[in-house]
Amino acid sequence: MAAQGENADHQHPSQECDLIMRGGITSGVVFPKAITRLATRYRFVNVGGTSAGSIAAIMAAAAEYRRASGGADKGFAAIDGMAGDLARNLRSLFQPWPATRSLFIIAMSVIASGGRLGPFFAGVIRAYWLSALIASLPGLALIARAIGQVNSWAGLFGLLLLLLIPAAALGVRLWNGVTKVLPAQDYGLCSGFNPHKDDVPAFTNWIADKLDEVSGRNPADPGYTPLTTGDLESKGIKVASVTTDLSSGRPYQLPLGTGIFSFRRSEFEKLFPPQVVDHLVRAGGRLEVKGKLYVDAQKNSDYYRLPVGRDFPVLLVARLSLSFPVLISAVPLYRFDYTVRPGVLVRCLFSDGGITSNFPIHFFDSILPGRPTFGISLGSVDRRNPSATRVVLPRLARDGSATAAHAIHGLANFGSAILTTARNWQDNLQSRLHGYRERIVEIRLDDEKEGGLNLDMDEAVIQQLADLGDEAGNKVLVEFQFPEHRWRRAVTALPTLGAALERLGQVWGDGYRDLLLNYAPTSLKVSPGERRRLVEFADQLAVIGLELANKPLPRASNQRAIVRVVASIDTIDDP
């Protein structure tokens, strides 16, 4: 389905845009055709996303890199074929560690049944059938003896043993798996990587191979290196994502902008293809502390600096963001914790970016945009309104302003609502602001059988989701109006900025001028010339603020937004 007034030609886009995509595990199958549809008109300058959205982001950036390198539409053609590839291979991409195979069987039983207890117990028995069989032998033996002696009490006792001993054995195996085996695999059932070249690839293998295909690189070529963020930057392209450092209790923006992290080659070889590990080792170099090679207590010296800047592999942008808790193992990195003197090297676990920001629509933002930043979001089909459209792009100012409310039923639903709200409330509120929501197209999925943790979607379902992505991209091309977006952004953002300046004007005369000129600070010192420059700048802002206090800017809506100093997720830790 071609967009109105469009040719499905990716060689000569007439405009530029940025793009953000929401995380959603298998829901990411909606993104490929949305990307290729948008690419017929737009050149992607900045592309970002979280979790599954980060995979789509690096693919879009790689295709744009190939287009900018003279590869015409070949990269986007490869992306367009990803939906069919996923339809054939989706389930096989999620391969458990050998040690977590039994837990994986149980998890898939629970997911397939929607969390019902019956399939859970059946999955436990199927996963640990040998333990259950061995544990049932005493009860079976006693029952057989009771039958031979016609002893009903012995038979009843044997039946009791037949129930209790296998149940206890299964409980012990399950408890051991959850408390010992899973943590040993960094809290993930799947590593994402299959080290055996001739076997069916896992999703990290698949992403790496697809990234080479889309960007036009061949690992067999002499001098091959994996695609890096520096390669993208050389063509004016930026990719960004989010990861969550659970050990430090904070998110980081990807690619990492701080050189404080290191990795162990022996651990990364279990998570990434050899060509990527070799690149990291070459670019990062061995970890040294005060000019000496770092060696741990076991005399192990396979620690290397994680390269940043231009040498950061694009594959790591996706994998560090794609560590859905329990399903996919976290990625271990190391950094020195200088809150302990003289500093101790800590193993930090990096997990899913969606824990802290599943839809970073604020990426690439500015008060007055020079080009659109489109968002592709994921929602759920509302069963109270089954006939509603599944692809939504708000057009009028009132569209998309209402917030749906759903009743809470049961403890599981209550807990799920708590986690979902804690993770997504800020992204959701941000997405509903004027200047945001009219550029975010939402694709609504049937959570029971589409996307999310539904690893067993058949080809028909996956193709349907891919078509929804194509419809979403087409809707943006047909319905989005950049002048209208700029108008809404201006008439809502400028009064918000004005309110902040008004407050500055009110407090600036309360000693701040003298403070900046004469105070003797104990830290964060600046030169006298820099002090005067700060004062001149603030004087100008204060004049504007005082004028606004007497003549406020007009407001076009009653939405509430604030301008304040907040920590950015790309904040670099000071060692």
Residue 19: C-alpha distances to residues 140, 257, 388, 488 (Å) = 63, 21, 26, 19
Q: Are 280 and 195 in contact (CB under 8 A)?
A: no
Mean pLDDT of 436-442: 92
Strands 344-351 and 238-245: antiparallel
Token pair belonging to 324: 């859905």
Residue reference for tokens 């061949």: 218
> Does pLDDT of 9 surpass 70?
no
Considering the candidates 186, 212, 352, 470, report the single residue annotated as catalytic: 352
Contact between residue 280 and residue 263 where contact means Cβ atoms under 8 Å apart:
yes
**Residue boundaries of the structural domains of the chain:** 100-179, 498-550
User: Residue 94 phi/psi, 5° resolution?
Assistant: -100, 95
Each residue's pLDDT tens digit, 268-282: 999 999 999 999 999
Judge whether residue 116 has pLDDT over 80: no
b/e sequence 167-188, b meaning 16+ C-beta within 10 Å: eebbeebbeebeeebbeebbbb
- Residues with Cβ < 8 Å from 99, sequence gap 6 or more? 181, 184, 185
pLDDT digits (tens, 9 = 90+) for 517-554: 999 999 889 999 999 999 999 999 999 999 999 998 88
**Measured between alpha carbons, how far is 408 from 413 in angstroms, rounded to an integer?**
6
Q: Which amino acid is at 97?
A: W
> Is the preceding peptide bond at 342 cis, omega within 30 degrees of 0?
yes
CA distance linking residue 169 with residue 277, whole number of Å: 41
The answer to whether residue 8 scores a pLDDT higher than 60 is: no
Given 51, 54, 262, 357, the catalytic residue: 51
Average pLDDT over residues 487-510: 92
Q: Are 445 and 29 in contact (CB under 8 A)?
A: no
Cα–Cα separations (whole angstroms), residue 368 to 364, 440, 493, 494: 11, 17, 8, 9
Active site residue 102: no
pLDDT for 180-197, tens place per residue? 999 999 999 999 999 887
Does a cis peptide bond (omega within 30 degrees of 0) precede residue 255? Answer: yes
pLDDT tens-digit profile of 262-317? 999 999 999 999 999 999 999 999 988 877 878 877 777 899 999 998 999 999 99
Q: What is the pLDDT of residue 2?
A: 42
The helix/strand count (H/E) of the chain reads as 19, 15
The distance between the two most distant Cα atoms of the chain, rounded to a whole number of Å, is 103
Angle among Cα 448, 449, 455 to the nearest 5 degrees reads 115
67 compared with 458, residue with greater pLDDT: 67
Q: Are 214 and 75 in contact (CB under 8 A)?
A: yes
Identify the burial level of 322 via C-beta atoms within 10 angstroms of its C-beta, where 0-12 means exposed, 13-18 middle and 19 or more buried.
Answer: buried
- 354-381 pLDDT per residue, tens: 999 999 998 998 899 999 999 999 988 8
Secondary structure in 3-state letters for 340-407: CCCCEEEEEEEECHHHCCCCCCCCCCCCCCCCCEEEEEEEECCCCCCCCCCEECCCCCCCCCCCCCCC
Beta carbons within 10 angstroms of residue 530's beta carbon:
11
> Does 7 score more than 50 pLDDT?
no
**Is 352 among the catalytic positions?**
yes
- Rounded Cα distance between 463 and 471, Å, is 12
Residue 4 binned pLDDT confidence (cut-offs 50, 70, 90): very low
| DSSP three-state, residue 272 | coil
Closest Cα partner for 102 from 199, 171, 173?
173
| Distance of alpha carbon 558 from alpha carbon 154, whole angstroms | 78
Q: For the segment 322-350, what is each residue's pLDDT rounded down to a tens digit?
A: 989 999 999 999 999 988 877 788 999 99
| The pLDDT of residue 539 | 95
